[in-house]
Amino acid sequence: MMVVTDANANPEKAKQITANGAEVLFCPADVKSNLDYMIAHIGRRGVQHLLVEGGPTVIGSFLKEGLADEVVVYIAPKILGRQGNADISKSMNRLGKNIDLHYVDTKHFGQDIRIAGLTQKGLEEISIPSK
C-alpha cells in the first residue's frame, strides 16, 4: 500500500504509516498535481493497472484531472441516514463538465447493481471508437 501526501506532511505520522507496512510518497511542493506526480512515480515502477477506491473527494479529483479510464459504481437498495453519508454531489459539482461513459455494462448481485463504463480517456488508451 502507498500513501501519497505533500512535502509538508507530519513526519511522525509518516513514520507511523511506514511502521504499519505502507510506503509514504511525498510529493514536492512545486508539483501541479499530487495525482499526476503519483501516477508518474508508480508508472516508472512498471505499474500498469491501478485500482482507486476512494470517497467523493478522491473520485472527484481523478475524474476532474482526467485520470480515470473506467468508472465502476455499485448501488444498493439502502437509504443511508446521517451516520452513513455517501453524498458525492459536491465533488461531482466541481467537475465543470459531464463525463460520458461508453460501453456501459450493468450486472445484478442479489439486490445490488454494478454499473461500469469506460471514459473517453479509457477508449483512447485502448483505441476503441466511441459508441
Whole-model pTM: value is 0.70
Q: Residue 55: name the closest of 47, 63, 65 by CA.
A: 63
Structural domains in the chain, CATH included, are 1-50 (no CATH), 54-131 (3.40.430.10)
Q: Which residue has the higher pLDDT, 21 or 129?
A: 21
Three-state DSSP state, 102: strand
pLDDT at 44: 93
What's the pLDDT tens digit per position in 74-116?
888 887 767 666 666 677 777 778 889 999 999 999 999 999 9
What's the pLDDT tens digit per position in 72-83?
988 888 877 676
What's the pLDDT tens digit per position in 24-66?
888 887 777 788 888 888 899 898 888 888 777 888 888 888 8
Q: Which long-range contacts (CB under 8 A, 24 or more apart) does 54-59 make?
A: 56/86, 56/87, 56/88, 56/90, 56/91, 56/92, 57/91, 59/88, 59/91
